[in-house]
Copies of this chain bind each other. A is one copy, B any other.
Amino acid sequence: MKIAEAPVDNAPALPRVRFRDARIEMSHGAGGKASRRLIEGLIAPLLGGPLLAPLADAAFLEVDGARLALTADSFVVRPLRFPGGSIGELAVNGTVNDLAVSAAQPLALLLTFVIEEGIATETLEAELRAIAEAARRAGVEIVGGDTKVVEHGKADGLYVTTAGLGRADLRARLSPRSVRPGDQVLLSGPIGDHGITILLARGEIDLEADLRSDTRSVYPFVEAILGVAASGLRWMRDPTRGGVATALNELARDSGLGIVLHEEEIPVREAVRGACELLGLDPLHIANEGQFLAVVAPELAEAALAAVRAVPGGGEAVIIGEVREQPARTVLAAASYGGTRVVDMLVGDPLPRIC
């Protein structure tokens, strides 16, 4: 019997693509289940090499002995300015925060602009000033960028893309796989402020509230945790698109463990709670731009919490839950009276273009 030879083919194997949606819809950019399908089913298989970190906040690589973190995000928020911030400020803080929750010290940013023909120079100037000020506050250097202009009607005034370079903090080894039952889930402050602020700023719903985006750098809080609890720090994430629910569901899935939240401990401002009730939204699905989640070993959780609370702006940090063996790959919210509910990832896109 003759064994057939394998066909000779020097071309790289075609990667397997599992994404079956015929068209790209808004939900594919919302940060929830559809985004995950797009990234895991199409983008990562096609672009992926050994270093690609498709869902992590930053990629790590070593160059001549330096341990670097790299990340990039595009910002398409509408409107460009809103209470508490603007697209330029988001573009700096969002990228700084992706580095921060990867336990990397943010060092340098590149900013690129896709500008709509005809926008007032003062609109662009205001964003440049917001960017410069946010970078100064976050302690990062802006080292370069690029500018393109597209015709009137293409782009809503301004899209901003930010790439960030950071220095990996060798004290921390973050991974969903290092998470253990008993670990505590720390949240840095009230959730949903950013998403609901954007929603209200669009004027599409008849509701007024004294609410501001929470956009800020979370690096000072991360630095504080690293100072006292680096050895017990397992995982961090800034819950932007898709909110706390989506971030924790990704952790549950990637760790194979369950997460039980003490729902009443989760800080939600009245205005956010009210808007969510009115619209049938869950605050756990609403985007944040200045909060982060950290999973910390139980023996260091109180020290981590105290460290975050000691940093200005960290006073509302709280332990919102813990990791359990069961129910595996699931996030549960438990109420004090004993009821529990399953908290799912964001599905669809109830609040498009919030960052």
**Max chain B C-beta neighbours (<10 A), residue from A74, A108, A119, A124:** A74
- Write the A163-205 contact mask toward B (1 if CB under 8 angstroms, else 0): 1010100000000000000000000000000000000000000
- Determine if A42 and B128 form an interchain contact, defined as CB atoms under 8 angstroms apart: yes
Closest Cβ neighbor of A167 among chain B residues: B63
A50 to B54 CA separation, bound complex (whole angstroms):
33
- Write the A6-42 contact mask toward B (1 if CB under 8 angstroms, else 0): 0000001000010101111111111000010011001
Contacting residues, chain B, for A67 (C-beta < 8 A): 64
A217 to B352 CA separation, bound complex (whole angstroms):
37
A115 at the interface (CB under 8 A from B): yes
A245 at the interface (CB under 8 A from B): no
Main secondary structure of the interface of A (DSSP, over half): mixed
- Determine if A76 and B114 form an interchain contact, defined as CB atoms under 8 angstroms apart: yes
A117 at the interface (CB under 8 A from B): yes
Contacting residues, chain B, for A39 (C-beta < 8 A): 147
**Which of B49, B72, B75, B116 sits near A110, CB closer than 8 Å?**
B72
Contacting residues, chain B, for A48 (C-beta < 8 A): 142
**Max chain B C-beta neighbours (<10 A), residue from A17, A70, A107, A145:** A145
A312 at the interface (CB under 8 A from B): no
A148 with B114: in contact, given A51-B143, A66-B66, A141-B51 (CB under 8 Å)? no
- Determine if B156 and A70 form an interchain contact, defined as CB atoms under 8 angstroms apart: no
**Max chain B C-beta neighbours (<10 A), residue from A107, A128, A147:** A147
Contacting residues, chain B, for A148 (C-beta < 8 A): 29, 74-76, 353
A53 at the interface (CB under 8 A from B): yes
Count identical subunits in the complex. Answer: 2
Interface size classification for chain A: 35 or more
A54 with B165: in contact, given A112-B72, A118-B23 (CB under 8 Å)? no
Closest Cβ neighbor of A163 among chain B residues: B163
Closest Cβ neighbor of A67 among chain B residues: B64
Instruction: Give me 18 A-to-B residue pairs in the complex whose CB atoms sit less than 8 angstroms apart, sorted by A's number.
Output: A23-B118, A26-B149, A29-B149, A42-B124, A42-B125, A43-B128, A46-B131, A47-B128, A59-B108, A64-B167, A68-B68, A70-B143, A70-B165, A72-B111, A72-B144, A74-B148, A110-B163, A154-B154
